[in-house]
């Protein structure tokens, strides 16, 4: 039987950690921009590690770790393995952490050439040949897409994981969001190239709402039909090179976009059957050699 003093001791608050790898900090700023919700969250959890918000750095273990950024250096690789070891749940946030980010364009070229062109002493730069998502190296409990992520989805993911339930994040495309907002389809009405039919929802159809085509910031939806979409992009005025650039902008390492862009670059027929897309965030496994391309 517990004593009276033990009964009066409040239960320990869940411990939250937020980490940064190679990124622009935009997804961490999304959490800071929650403002009122963040204050309420701080009352219910212990923010043990979040250098964007505080210099406090409490050691693990952590109940939930949020990781922004891609793995681009040996130090980052060691860090993600440490984060996984000290975290009960690990959630990656943003295009960099879930699909390698814009910096994953290096995966389609020779990083040594980039290094020599940019740095006076490239031998001082210690980097990996590729920019890869966290899931390529350690198991991840959930991936939240976006560049940057959506604040409402982020709060849902944090709340769900701390409550021990599955996050209620939709898996449909941006086209559903356009319908909900009453948008006229920019492709059907104006012939504007748009990645909305193959892009994961979450932005609220921001670009189509301003009569612009979707740029694919939230990465491929769960069942993207690129076989059907790529010929439409070509019909609406994009040449092969422009389609490749569009697919590689924000989520270059996502399997569906990477496969389609590589096939186009190599001159394959975009309407030919392609292998079924793999799970979101899938990449080289933890035991595969570093620098493996998509």
pLDDT of residue 5: 47
Distance of alpha carbon 224 from alpha carbon 178, whole angstroms? 17
- The pLDDT score that the predictor gives to residue 38 is 80
Q: Does domain 11-163 have CATH number 3.40.50.300?
A: no
Give the global pTM: 0.84
Give dist(CA 135, CA 247) in Å, integer. 20
Give the Cα separation of 125 and 113 in Å (integer).
Answer: 13
* Domain residue limits, the chain: 11-163, 174-265
Q: Report which of 63, 228, 231, 246 is spatially closest to residue 162, judged by C-alpha positions.
A: 63
Distances (CA, A) of 265 to 55, 79, 207, 221, 262: 46, 34, 26, 22, 5
Measure the CA–CA gap between 226 and 197, rounded to whole angstroms.
Answer: 9
How many other C-beta atoms can be found within 10 angstroms of the C-beta atom of residue 166?
Answer: 10
Distance CA 291, CA 76 (A): 14
Question: d(Cα 245, Cα 251) in Å, to the nearest integer?
Answer: 11
- Per-residue pLDDT of the chain in tens (294 residues, 90 and over written 9): 444 444 544 457 899 999 999 999 999 999 989 888 888 887 889 999 999 888 889 998 999 999 999 999 999 999 999 999 999 999 999 999 999 999 999 999 898 998 999 999 999 999 999 999 999 999 999 999 999 999 999 999 999 988 889 999 988 999 999 999 999 999 999 999 999 999 999 999 999 999 999 999 999 998 899 999 999 999 999 999 999 999 999 998 899 999 999 999 988 755 554 444 333 333 334 433 343 333
Q: pLDDT value at position 28? A: 94
pLDDT at 4: 44
């Amino acid at each position: 039987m517990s004593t009276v003093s033990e009964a009066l001791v409040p239960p320990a608050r869940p411990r939250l950690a937020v980490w940064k790898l190679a990124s622009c900090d935009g997804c961490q700023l999304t959490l800071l921009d929650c403002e009122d919700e963040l204050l309420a969250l701080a009352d219910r959890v212990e923010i043990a590690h979040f250098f964007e918000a505080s210099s406090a750095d409490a050691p693990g273990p952590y109940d939930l770790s949020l990781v922004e950024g891609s793995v681009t250096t040996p130090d980052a690789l060691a860090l993600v393995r440490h984060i996984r070891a000290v975290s009960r749940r690990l959630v990656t946030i943003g295009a960099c952490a879930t699909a390698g980010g814009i910096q994953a364009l290096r995966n389609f070229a020779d990083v040594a050439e980039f290094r020599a062109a940019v740095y006076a002493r490239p031998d001082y730069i210690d980097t990996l040949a590729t920019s890869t998502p966290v899931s390529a190296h350690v198991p991840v409990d959930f991936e939240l897409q976006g560049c940057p992520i959506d604040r409402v989805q982020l709060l849902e993911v944090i709340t769900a994981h701390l409550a021990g339930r599955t996050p209620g994040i939709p898996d449909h495309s941006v086209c559903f969001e356009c319908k909900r907002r009453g948008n006229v389809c920019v492709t059907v009405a104006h012939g504007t190239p748009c990645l909305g039919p193959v892009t994961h929802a979450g932005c609220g159809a921001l670009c189509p709402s301003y009569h612009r085509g979707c740029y694919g910031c939230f990465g491929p939806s769960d069942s993207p039909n690129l076989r059907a979409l790529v010929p439409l992009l070509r019909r609406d005025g994009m040449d092969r090179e422009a389609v490749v650039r569009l697919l590689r902008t924000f989520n270059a390492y996502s399997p569906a976009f990477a496969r389609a862009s590589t096939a186009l670059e190599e001159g394959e027929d975009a309407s030919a059957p392609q292998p079924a897309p793999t799970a979101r965030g899938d990449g080289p496994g933890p035991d595969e050699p570093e620098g493996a391309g998509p």
